[in-house]
Structure 1
Amino acid sequence: MPTGVALRDPREQLFDAAERILLRDGPNALTSRAVTTEAGCAKGVLHRHFTNFDAFLADLVLDRIGRLDAQSAALRDAAGTGTVADNVTGALSDLFGSVAVAIVGLVISRDALRTRLRRTTPTGIPLLTEATAMFTSYLTAERDLGRITPDADVDTLARTLIGAGHLLAAGRPDTPPETEAFHRVATTVLAGVTQERPAG
């Protein structure tokens, strides 16, 4: 194994290596040695960029949470277009068809990591909490547009969508759910609160 491979973007390459390990072998296989071996770099590279392995893991999770910003903006921009159920289906499929389930498993399995992440996500499960906020924001926009009933509890709807989506995707990294499965979740959760008019 080479010990002096130059990395163009060491942080991102280490994060990508950690994701591959998570998806292939699960959170228990994630060690600093496993990450640097997977990235094909010297063992000291990780510790030159992060104070310790817990800091690396926390930054990995925070980086992946940060990636929700673009998805959240796109979902909010979709308000008033298509159907609410289709927009929610696409967002659930994007969220849980990615590495998000593995990241949540990592957070749940490591007490020290959860404690560290409490600085930015005081309650709930990091990543899922931020994803819930993404759906709350979108559903609020749809309610403001009159496509969801005025009395709809968008916070509870968002939590229900995230919980059902996570349960649907958990434990199956090699075979993510079909889009139709997420569509059934969306239509069931939103039944009775949508009042859509044909898009103009």
Structure 2
Amino acid sequence: MKSEDCKSLDPTAPGKRESGDDRRIAVAKAARAIIVEKGLEGLRTRDIAARVGINIATLHYHVPTKEALVALVAESIRAEFRAQALRNSREGKTGLEQLHLEFDDFRETAREMPELIIILTELVERARRDAAVAAIVLPLHRFWRGQFADIFRLGIADGSFRPDLDPEAAAMIATGALSDSWRRPDTSPSLVEQALAELERAFIRRP
């Protein structure tokens, strides 16, 4: 490996050596930026290497295949969503309170991290016709849906939600509605708020 390949990506610390994790984070960041700009079809390893400041051989050491690159991007998104959820503890909260937190996270993502929506949409669309990408991306979506199902189960148990609610079906409805609003760049914030309110009304237990 050339000495310049070991330099930090931080221009303020040119002598610092970066770890393998730092390099993978930089690769994921560059790949995500290219997906936003050019779509998944425009993702090229030479462009990623150029943005990170490494050669192709070094890039392939960290991500030897296109599938490994997509997996790295998916994992970076999962890590951001995990960090977002940890900022607002769910511990001790009712099912309805946790649902409100999920809606708040959705609003924050749409407002502050719209690039994640673009990337996820690209990956999901590619997964429809690429089994290798589907094997990487669909578990991420299933995990998200499973989180909602757990919230609905909790809400049924604590009385927040209707006792006859089907947690899995409700989770599919909720994530489907949120995903659809993500895929529509022309959806107004007021319409999104109306949709979130309607979802809540469909699930909560009436007095």
Q: TM-score category by the smaller chain?
A: 0.7 to 0.9
2:74 to 56, 61, 72: 61
Query: Scaled by the length of structure 2, what TM-score is found?
Result: 0.72
Query: Scaled by the length of structure 1, what TM-score is found?
Result: 0.74
Q: How does 1:147-166 map to 2 (within 5 A)?
A: 147-166=160-179
Deviation per CA, 1:97-150, whole angstroms, max 9, x where unpaired? 531441341243251532542xxx7xxx34222211121122222222211121
Equivalenced residue count is 186
Q: Which residue in the other structure is 2:119 paired with?
A: 102
Out of 63-72 and 99-108, give the one that drifted further.
63-72
Distance (whole Å) between structure 1 residues aligned to residue 187 and residue 69 of structure 2: 27
SS of the residue corresponding to residue 203 of structure 2 reads coil
User: Could you say which structure has the higher helix fraction?
Assistant: 2
Q: Which residue in the other structure is 1:89 paired with?
A: 103
**Considering only CA atoms, is the larger Rg found in Structure 1 or Structure 2?**
2
2:197 to 163, 187, 191: 187
**Percent of counterpart pairs with the same letter?**
17
Matched, 1:113 2:132: yes
C-alpha contact 2:70 2:133 (8 A) present in aligned 1: no
Deviation per CA, 1:64-122, whole angstroms, max 9, x where unpaired? 235444555657437328756633421322455531441341243251532542xxx7x
SS of the residue corresponding to residue 4 of structure 2 reads coil
Q: Which residue in the other structure is 2:46 paired with?
A: 33
Distance (whole Å) between structure 2 residues aligned to residue 196 and residue 71 of structure 1: 31
C-alpha contact 2:95 2:161 (8 A) present in aligned 1: no
| More RCO (CA 8 Å, sep 6+) | 1
**Matching residue's letter, 2:37:** R
SS of the residue corresponding to residue 161 of structure 2 reads coil
Deviation per CA, 1:8-37, whole angstroms, max 9, x where unpaired? 210000001111112222211111112122
C-alpha contact 2:36 2:118 (8 A) present in aligned 1: no
Matched, 1:14 2:27: yes
C-alpha contact 2:149 2:171 (8 A) present in aligned 1: yes
C-alpha contact 1:57 1:113 (8 A) present in aligned 2: no
**Matching residue's letter, 1:17:** A
C-alpha contact 2:90 2:98 (8 A) present in aligned 1: no
Structure 1 residue 58 displacement after superposition: 1.8
- 5+ residue gaps, structure 1, are none
C-alpha contact 2:46 2:56 (8 A) present in aligned 1: yes
**Matching residue's letter, 1:157:** A
Q: Which runs of 4+ in 1 moved over 6 A?
A: none
Q: 1:189 to 1:171 in 2, by over 3 A?
A: closer
